[in-house]
Amino acid sequence: MTTDRLVVIVTGGSRGLGLAIVESLLIAGYRVATCSRKTSSEIDRLNAEHGGAKRFMWRQCNLGDESEEENFINSVSAWAAADGLYALVNNAAITGEGVLATFPTVEIERILQVNLVSAIRLARLVLRVLLGQGRPGRIVNISSIVGSRGYTGLAAYGASKAGLDGLSRALAREVGRRGITVNSVAPGYLETELSATLNDQQRRQIVNRTPLGRLGTVGDIAPLVTFLLSEPASFITGQTLVVDGGISC
């Protein structure tokens, strides 16, 4: 399976893990489309390096707004043209920290809308295209060990990520006979902007509980996502692959 005609959608690709996934896929030869709420210097760089060759596309999209999500998928389909779509990586996420007893309802709804509801809607939109094409495809949902292990102050975030794991298992059964695989990748605590809110004591506690003795990096996760899109991963589906340095073992 050659990758140069395969179009992959990655949400939240302007920074952090999403950006690392985009770059890993471009190196592997895929055409990549991504979206985020706003652009970044890295998006400008990727546009300059790959946009002219129609290997990279970015669009502004407020995930959580159904009409914007539909417009984004439609624009990617038009950009993909005869190549069609191959895969969706649901990576975009927001977080919010606070004990549930005092956590605002509006924040709970915002986290669930972006992290889970939007991912479900995007999967539905992409599946309609994949099923219509009648050829194999891939969906990868970026969840988190917080969804299975829990963490104080992240109840809504953890619930949204646990939902993605359930989505992967259910969809794997629904579409497996059509040659479409669906999996989750569950990172542990990474050196990203999402972990920047950890204070020194919290960081030390996490590192001390991790058998490999460090936080993860985006470079620990992106290659696994790329592998799940490859031909050698075509018999892997319905799984949650944990990459956390052993903290949950």
d(CA 40, CA 18): 12
Burial call 20-46: b when 16+ CB within 10 Å, e when fewer: bbbbbbbebebbbbbbbeeeeebbeeb
* CA dihedral angle for residue 123, residue 78, residue 13, residue 139, rounded to 10 degrees: 30
The full set of domains in the chain, from first to last, is: 7-236 (3.40.50.720)
- pLDDT for 192: 73
Would the pLDDT of 195 be above 70?
Answer: no
- Are 63 and 114 in contact by the 8 Å Cβ rule? The answer is yes
**pLDDT above 90 covers what percent of the chain?**
86
Q: Which of 30, 86, 151, 157 is catalytic?
A: 157
Our answer to whether residue 157 is catalytic in this structure is yes
d(CA 82, CA 141): 26
- pLDDT for 97: 87
- pLDDT for 193: 57
pLDDT digits (tens, 9 = 90+) for 13-69: 999 999 999 999 999 999 999 999 999 999 999 999 998 889 999 999 999 999 999
Q: What is the mean pLDDT of residues 240-249?
A: 94
- pLDDT for 198: 75
- pLDDT for 241: 98
Mean of all residue pLDDT scores within the chain: 94
pLDDT digits (tens, 9 = 90+) for 76-135: 999 999 999 999 999 999 998 899 999 999 999 999 999 999 999 999 999 999 999 999
Q: What is the mean pLDDT of residues 201-214?
A: 91
d(CA 8, CA 11): 10
- Which element (helix H / strand E) includes 59? strand 56-60
Residue 143 banded pLDDT, cuts 50, 70, 90: very high
- Are 6 and 87 in contact by the 8 Å Cβ rule? The answer is yes
Phi/psi-derived region of residue 179, left when phi > 0, alpha when psi is between -120 and 50, beta in every other case: left
Q: What is the mean pLDDT of residues 158-162?
A: 97
- pLDDT for 194: 57
Q: What is the mean pLDDT of residues 159-164?
A: 97
Burial, 71: exposed, middle or buried (Cβ in 10 Å; 0-12, 13-18, 19+)?
middle
Residue 71 banded pLDDT, cuts 50, 70, 90: very high
